[in-house]
Structure formats: structure tokens, C-alpha cells
Amino acid sequence: MSRPMNFVMISPHFPTNFETFAVRLHEAGFHTLGIADTPYHELSDTLRSHLTEYYKVDNMEDYDQVYRAVAYFAHKYGRIDRIESHNEYWLELDAKLRTDFNVFGYKNEDMLSIKTKRQMKEIFRDHGLKVAAGDVFHTDDEARALVQKLGFPVIIKPNSGVGASDTYKIKSTQELEEFFDYKTNGVEYIMEEFIDGDIVTFDGLTDHEGNIVFYSSLEYSEAVLDTVEKDGDMFYYVPREISKELVRLGEICVEAFTVKERFFHFEFFRVKATKELMALEVNCRPPGGLTIDMWNYANDFDVFREYANIVKDNLFEAEILRPYNVVYISRKANQHYVHSLDDIWAKFGDKIISIQSVPGVFAKIMGENGILARTTTLDEMRELVQYAQAKS
């Protein structure tokens, strides 16, 4: 009888909905070996009961401590088969540990291409994908010269960064000069031409050889930057229908970035004037928020279980029929809505999956309350969104 696979889970408690990875891996017979800096008694009952063992470190940023935790697990359970956080923040830590313990998956040398936007652009271009013009800059004068080439407005963001944090739309020389005063010291920034387009994503999961076993997409009511700037409502959804061109470009990206036995979340611009797709960036991890749960509701399957099967036996067994659009609708505390949450339940109860409060750290974008719902048609979805976000 072969031994159980040893799966080291970095920060398995965050975000909360990712705890299901530990549950499904444990059910599939893995040794689930958690490492984080949270006291054991603060972990949820569900997580505690589905971790084979938990190693608390004082500081996850101290590599030596995390290394010693993995070494302890290797000594006790044998060779480590997987190390994974599914979290953008720990991508480099995961890779460093995999390199040092010779574990399958992205290693140190892969980080440049999947973490830095400039390198992503080069890989996109090499594979025939269109990208926004832009480059990194290291001095104020380099930024001034670059904006002369690109023209206002421009987008400035960290060359290696997550989400919309530390990202700015600069519309004038004055705003650029002001940026020099508040930019974060020590951060390498990239400047890009502003693209008037909507963001659409190509997301999914690959098997051990890099074949796409499941794909999906996200469409947004507006850019995250705009939501933050005006502190208003937003919604985003998993559509039933996904364009063939998006799938084609997504398949190129999966191959270009050697995505094997991993979730992926690739962002594209759909240019408003021409409808063409331009590659924006790659994220070699699951989409954030509740998206991974939205996949389950959109397809009536369990992607956490399918992932465990892929790692264990390289098998994906679910039939993908896409019976629903699934939408997340934000409700902000600072808005005056015509309809209460109870009204929404009463009118659309057969379509509502859940209504939940959102932790403060995410509320600026996701709203203090989030409504998760599914519909068979986009018209039904739009009616629900308009009702939920109607202002008095």
C-alpha cells in the first residue's frame, strides 16, 4: 500500500472559504500539514478537524522558521509532495520552499515571469498577444520621459503587486508631480498607457501536465479602481457563455506560463471601441473573494474535491454544463437603498444563494454586505442587480 501524500498548506485559514481545500484533501487521504502564525485554538473547528498536524510559527515572514516547520514535517511524515498556499501574497514563499525541498510546482526561477508585470508583457508579446504600451521607471525623470511617449492619462502601479493597491490613474503633469511625493519608497513602479476597456478574465484549473480541465470567466460592472475612487456599488459575475476568442487567448497564456496542476486567473482588457482583447496580467492562483465558490454554484460541482483528485490521481471527473450565471452584488453602508435585504430575499429568494457581511478589510471594494445569486439568464441577473442597488 502506498503512503499518503504529504501536502503542506501555507496559511490554510486564509481566506476563510479556502479552508475547504484542507477538508477535501483530508477526505481524499492526504496528510494535511498546516503552517501559519495563528494560534491553534483560534483556527476554526472545521480546519482543526481536517488538519493532520499544525505547526505554529511566530512570524511567517521569517523564512528560517517556516523552513524548519517544513523540515519537521518531512522528518516525521517523509518526503513532502506538495507545498501550496493558493495565495498571491505567499507565491514567492511557496516557490522558495519548493526549491529547497525539491517539490513539484513553481520554483524560484519561475517567479520573475509570474510576479512582475514587465516580464509578463514580454511573454505576452512573444506569444502574439496584444498588450498596453508601458515600461518600468526608476527615477522621476524616467517617469516624466515615459509619460511624454505614452500621453495622459496613464496608469502607474507596482511592477510586482496584487490587486488595485498602490495603483493610480494619472491625468496631468500636476498629478504626476504629486505622485512623486506620495509614492512608496523602494517599490519599482510600471507606467502604462490608459486603455478604455472593461476587464474580463479567463480563470480555471489545469492538470499535472498543464491541460485545462476547467475554465470560467469573470465580468465586472466597472474597474476596481473606479469602485475605490467613488466608494460606490459594484457587481461581478461568472457568465454561462464565454467567448471563443477569450478561451483561445487563455489557452495560449496557460501554455506560455507553464501552468501545471494549478489554478489560474488571467486578466484581459476588452477595448470598448474595438471589442478586441488585450492581455493585462497573469495570476497563477485562484481568483480572490468568493469566486471559487461561485464556480461551484455556477456548475453544481465541487472544485475543491476536483482539485484534490487532480493532485492525487490527475483525475477531473465533473461534467461542466454551466447551467447558471452567478453574480456577486455589493451593498455599501454609506448608500441609501430603496429596498432592504429582507425585500431582496422576499422578491428573489429562489435565486439568492446567500447574503453575508463582509470583513472590513474588503468592504471598500466588496461592500459591507454581499449578495450572492444565480440565474439562468442575464436579463434575470440584471433585474436582480438593479433592484438590489436601486437608490432612494
Residues 304 and 165 in one domain: no
97 shares a domain with 226: no
Predicted pLDDT of residue 258: 97
Q: How many CB atoms lie within 10 A of CB 277?
A: 21
Listed in sequence order, the DSSP H helices in the chain are 19-27, 45-50, 63-77, 91-101, 111-115, 117-126, 140-150, 173-182, 224-230, 244-256, 291-299, 303-313, 341-348, 360-366, 378-389
Cα separation of 45 and 42, whole Å?
Answer: 9
Q: Quick one: pLDDT at residue 33?
A: 98
CATH number at residue 161: 3.30.1490.20
pTM: 0.93
Pair 218, 305 in one domain:
yes
Q: How far apart are CA 143 and CA 37, in angstroms?
A: 39
Q: Is residue 1 part of a domain?
A: no
For residues 191-213, give the mean pLDDT: 96
Q: Are residues 219 and 355 in the same domain?
A: yes
CA pair distance 188, 139, nearest whole angstrom? 10
- HSE-CB of 316 using CA atoms within 13 angstroms: 20
Residue 344 shares a structural domain with residue 230: yes
DSSP category for residue 109: G
Which one-letter amino acid corresponds to residue 50? H
**Does any domain span residue 117?**
no
Which residues neighbour 124 within 8 Å (Cβ) at sequence distance 6 or greater? 130, 131, 253, 256, 279
In the predicted model, what is the mean pLDDT of residues 70-87?
A: 98
pLDDT at 338 over 70: yes
Task: Report the CATH number that the domain containing residue 299 is assigned in CATH.
Answer: 3.30.470.20
For the stretch 343-387, pLDDT in tens is: 999 999 999 999 988 877 777 788 899 999 999 999 999 999 999
The pLDDT tens digits for 1-56 are: 478 999 999 999 999 999 999 999 999 999 999 999 999 999 999 999 999 999 99
How many residues does the structure list for the chain? 392
153 and 207 belong to one structural domain: no
* Whether the Cβ atoms of residue 208 and residue 314 lie closer than 8 Å to each other: yes
What is the pLDDT confidence band of residue 226, given thresholds at 50, 70 and 90? low
Starting at the earlier edge strand, list the strands of the sheet with 197-206: 277-283, 263-271, 197-206, 212-220, 235-238, 325-331, 369-375, 352-357
Residues 72 and 147 grouped into a single domain:
no
Domain that holds residue 299: 197-389
Over residues 63-72, mean pLDDT: 98
> In angstroms, how far is CA 255 from the centroid of its own chain?
19
Tens digit of each residue's pLDDT (9 = 90 or more) over 118-155: 999 999 999 999 999 999 999 999 999 999 999 999 99
CA gap 369, 61 in Å, rounded: 32
Helix or strand run (H / E) with residue 370? strand 369-375
356 beta partners:
370
Residues 225 and 364 in one domain: yes
